[in-house]
A and B are shown apart, each in its own frame.
Chain A
C-alpha cells in the first residue's frame, strides 16, 4: 500500500513545460500508448501520427511507442497493467472521436481542443470543408507537434488549424 502523504506535488502556480518535461511528458505517454494501440489487428482507432510524435522525443520514447513490450517481458503484472492502460486510452479516443464526428454531422464547424497536447485529431478526423480546429496548449508542446508533423509533410484535414497560444512564439497561425 502506498501512503498518500509520500506523494509530492511538484506543480507551482505558474509552471510551464517542454514536451519531455512535467505535464508535457504525459502527452508523450498518451501518444506512445496510441502508437502501441495501432499494432493490434482489431485496433479501435488508428493514429498514424502517434509513433512519429512519440519517437521524435528520443530513443527511450521510441522504445515505449514501438510494437513490442520487450522492456516489460520479465514482469507479467506490469505488462498487463500497461495493456489495460492502452485499452482505456483506445476506448477514450474512440469515444471522443465519435463525439466530434457527431458534432460535425449536427452542423458544428468550430472545434476547440483544450490542452490538446499531441492530439492528432486535426490531422486525422474527416472534418467537413471549412471546419476550424483550435488547439490550446503550452507553446512548446504545440511547437513540438507542429514542427514534427511539418517536417514529415503531414497536412491537417481541417481547413484551418490555428494555434492561438503559439502565434507569438512559433510563427503565424496556419
Chain B
C-alpha cells in the first residue's frame, strides 16, 4: 500500500525534494472531513514539525460535530448526492465517507495552541462578501465551515528583529519609531517658519526618556556633522524636512475630509500622532486611534498629565493591527454606515506584504461610500543604498556620541512583491490620486538633496483615494 496522509508522508515529501528549512505555504482544502479525528491531529502535528519560520497554512475547517452538523444539512447533502447517483449513475456517497466523530479537535483552536496565529472567515460571510450568499430558504442546509489562514508565530526570515506577534511599548522596537517622528515634529514646531505646528510633540518625546531620537532636528549637531560630511548632514536635514512635509500633507487631507462633511476618522497605528488633540475638528467628529495598548496608554496619560484635551471625541482602540481590529473598532463605537477618513502614515513598511493586503481589504469592507483614505507608501530603495546609509550613520553616530542608534531597516519588512497601493485601491472600488513625496517636498520648498538623490526610487508616495 502506497504512502498516504494517514502514514509517514513527510519522509516521502522530503525524499521528493521538499526542504523543511524553507518557508512553505500549506493547504488543507476539502480534506479534514475524510480524516478520522486523531489522524487530523497527527496531520497538523507533522505539518507543524516540518515548518520553517515564515510558513503559513490555510485550512477549510468544517463543523461536523454531531451536535452541529444538523439533520437538515446532512439531509440536503444526501439529497444532492442521491441525485448524482440516481440521475447520472455516479458512484458517489459523500456522507458515508466522512468521519463525523465528536472527538475531533477544533482546527482553529488546535493551530492557535501549537504556534500558529489563526485568522479566518466563516464561509457564509465570505460567500456574502463575494455576492454569492447562501439562498435564504436554504441557509440551514448550507455548509458550516470556516476558511482559516494562519502564519506561524515563528520569527520570519525577512525581518530579523520582528516576529509575527511581537509587541512593544514606546521605548522599544517599532514604538521607538513613533518617538523619532514625534521628535522631528517637535523640531519643526520650534523652527522660525514651521510648516506644521505640533505643540504636544515635545512633551511626548520628553516623557520617553533618552534615546536615538535626541539628534532629530538638533541644528547644532547637523552643523557639526556638516563640517565632517556634507552629504550626511543634508540627509539629516532631509529627514526632518520629510517628516514636516508628510505631516503637512496628511493634516491637509483631514481638513479637506472634514470640509467635505466626514465626521469619522480612523488613524491606523497612530503612535504619538497628536492630530486628535491639535486639528480643528468640527463638533461631533470621532477620531479612532488604533495602536498597541502601551503606546496609546502612554500618549493618553502623558497628555492628560499636561492638561491637554482632545479636540474631537477621541477613542483609543488598543489592538494589534495584525489581529481582529475591525471587531475592536466596531466595539469602540465605529459606525460602518458613516463615511470615514482613514490614515495609514508611517505604517506599511512595518507590515509584511500579505498583512498589507489584508489591512486594505478590511478597510475597504468597513468603508461606506464617500469614505477617504490617505496612505504613505513604502519606497522601493535598493538594499545596497540602505546598507551604505546605515554604515555612514553608524560612523557619524560614533563620532558625535549619539547613543543607541536604531536600525530601522531591521524593523521593516523589505518585500519586493508588495502590492502597489494606488493600483490595489483602484482595483477595489476606490479612486486614487498619488503625489510623489519628493515632488511635494519641492512644492513646499523643502527639498535639500542633490538632484540625483532626489530621483532615487527609495522615496515614498502619498496616495489618497475616495470610495466610489
Residues of A within 8 A of B (CB): 1-2, 4, 7-11, 13-14, 16, 20-23, 25-26, 28-30, 42, 44, 60-61, 63-64, 71-72, 75, 77-78, 80-85, 87-88, 90-92, 94-96, 99-100, 102-115, 117, 119, 128, 132, 134, 136-139, 160, 162-169, 173
B365 to chain A, nearest CB (A): 14
Bound state CA distance, A157 and B22, in angstroms?
Answer: 20
Does B444 lie at the interface of the complex (its beta carbon under 8 Å from any beta carbon of A)?
Answer: no
Bound state CA distance, A130 and B93, in angstroms?
Answer: 40
Do residues A112 and B97 form an inter-chain contact, with CB atoms below 8 A?
Answer: no
Bound state CA distance, A6 and B47, in angstroms?
Answer: 35
Task: Find the A residue at minimum CB distance from B414.
Answer: A107
Q: From the candidates A4, A63, A115, A168, name the one contacting B30 in the complex (CB within 8 A).
A: A115
Does B6 lie at the interface of the complex (its beta carbon under 8 Å from any beta carbon of A)?
Answer: yes
> Which of the candidate stretches B126-134, B168-176, B333-341, B379-387 sits at the interface with the other chain?
B126-134
Do residues B71 and A87 form an inter-chain contact, with CB atoms below 8 A?
Answer: no
Chain A residues whose C-beta falls within 8 Å of the C-beta of B147 in the assembled complex: 92, 95-96
Chain A residues whose C-beta falls within 8 Å of the C-beta of B47 in the assembled complex: 114
Do residues A108 and B80 form an inter-chain contact, with CB atoms below 8 A?
Answer: no
Among A96, A103, A137, residue most surrounded by chain B Cβ atoms (within 10 Å): A103
> Which of the candidate stretches B138-146, B188-196, B247-255, B392-400 sits at the interface with the other chain?
B138-146
Do residues B127 and A88 form an inter-chain contact, with CB atoms below 8 A?
Answer: yes
Q: From the candidates B71, B126, B141, name the one contacting A4 in the complex (CB within 8 A).
A: B71
Given A82-B80, A84-B142, A164-B16: A30 and B88 within 8 A (CB)? no
Q: From the candidates A7, A14, A85, A90, name the one contacting B96 in the complex (CB within 8 A).
A: A7
- 9 nearest A-B residue pairs (beta carbon): A164-B16, A103-B25, A102-B354, A87-B132, A105-B417, A115-B31, A60-B88, A99-B58, A110-B24
Bound state CA distance, A102 and B47, in angstroms?
Answer: 20
Does B239 lie at the interface of the complex (its beta carbon under 8 Å from any beta carbon of A)?
Answer: no
Chain B residues whose C-beta falls within 8 Å of the C-beta of A106 in the assembled complex: 54, 56, 158, 352-354, 415, 417
Do residues B43 and A114 form an inter-chain contact, with CB atoms below 8 A?
Answer: yes
Among B18, B30, B58, B96, residue most surrounded by chain A Cβ atoms (within 10 Å): B30
Given A4-B74, A99-B27, A112-B26: A162 and B16 within 8 A (CB)? yes
Do residues A8 and B17 form an inter-chain contact, with CB atoms below 8 A?
Answer: no
Chain A residues whose C-beta falls within 8 Å of the C-beta of B78 in the assembled complex: 2
B156 to chain A, nearest CB (A): 9
- 26 A-B residue pairings within 8 Å (CB atoms): A1-B72, A2-B71, A9-B96, A9-B99, A16-B1, A23-B34, A23-B97, A26-B30, A26-B34, A64-B90, A71-B83, A72-B83, A81-B79, A88-B143, A95-B121, A106-B354, A110-B23, A112-B13, A112-B26, A114-B26, A132-B17, A134-B13, A136-B9, A138-B2, A162-B16, A167-B15
**B1-38 near A? 1/0 per residue, CB < 8 Å:** 11111100100110111110011111111110010000
Bound state CA distance, A164 and B16, in angstroms?
Answer: 5
A32 to chain B, nearest CB (A): 9
Chain A residues whose C-beta falls within 8 Å of the C-beta of B419 in the assembled complex: 105
Bound state CA distance, A61 and B9, in angstroms?
Answer: 30
Bound state CA distance, A84 and B127, in angstroms?
Answer: 10
Do residues A11 and B97 form an inter-chain contact, with CB atoms below 8 A?
Answer: yes
Chain A residues whose C-beta falls within 8 Å of the C-beta of B55 in the assembled complex: 108
Bound state CA distance, A84 and B23, in angstroms?
Answer: 36
Task: Find the A residue at minimum CB distance from B83.
Answer: A78
Bound state CA distance, A114 and B34, in angstroms?
Answer: 12
Chain A residues whose C-beta falls within 8 Å of the C-beta of B93 in the assembled complex: 10
Bound state CA distance, A9 and B101, in angstroms?
Answer: 11
> Which range holds the interface residue count of chain B?
35 or more
Does B418 lie at the interface of the complex (its beta carbon under 8 Å from any beta carbon of A)?
Answer: yes
**B433-448 near A? 1/0 per residue, CB < 8 Å:** 0000000000000000
B353 to chain A, nearest CB (A): 5
Given A81-B138, A169-B2: A115 and B34 within 8 A (CB)? yes
Among A26, A111, A160, residue most surrounded by chain B Cβ atoms (within 10 Å): A26
Bound state CA distance, A165 and B132, in angstroms?
Answer: 36
Q: From the candidates A26, A42, A44, A88, name the one contacting B97 in the complex (CB within 8 A).
A: A26
A4-B74, A11-B34, A106-B158 known, 11 other contacts, Cβ within 8 Å: A22-B97, A29-B84, A44-B130, A80-B138, A107-B353, A109-B22, A110-B22, A115-B30, A115-B34, A136-B9, A166-B2
Chain A residues whose C-beta falls within 8 Å of the C-beta of B87 in the assembled complex: 71-72
Bound state CA distance, A117 and B5, in angstroms?
Answer: 12
Chain A residues whose C-beta falls within 8 Å of the C-beta of B284 in the assembled complex: none
Task: Find the B residue at minimum CB distance from A103.
Answer: B25
B263 to chain A, nearest CB (A): 33
Task: Find the B residue at minimum CB distance from A132.
Answer: B17
B358 to chain A, nearest CB (A): 8
B170 to chain A, nearest CB (A): 29
Bound state CA distance, A114 and B27, in angstroms?
Answer: 6
Does B232 lie at the interface of the complex (its beta carbon under 8 Å from any beta carbon of A)?
Answer: no
B305 to chain A, nearest CB (A): 42
Do residues A115 and B5 form an inter-chain contact, with CB atoms below 8 A?
Answer: yes
B31 to chain A, nearest CB (A): 4
Do residues A26 and B92 form an inter-chain contact, with CB atoms below 8 A?
Answer: yes
Among B15, B16, B80, B353, residue most surrounded by chain A Cβ atoms (within 10 Å): B16
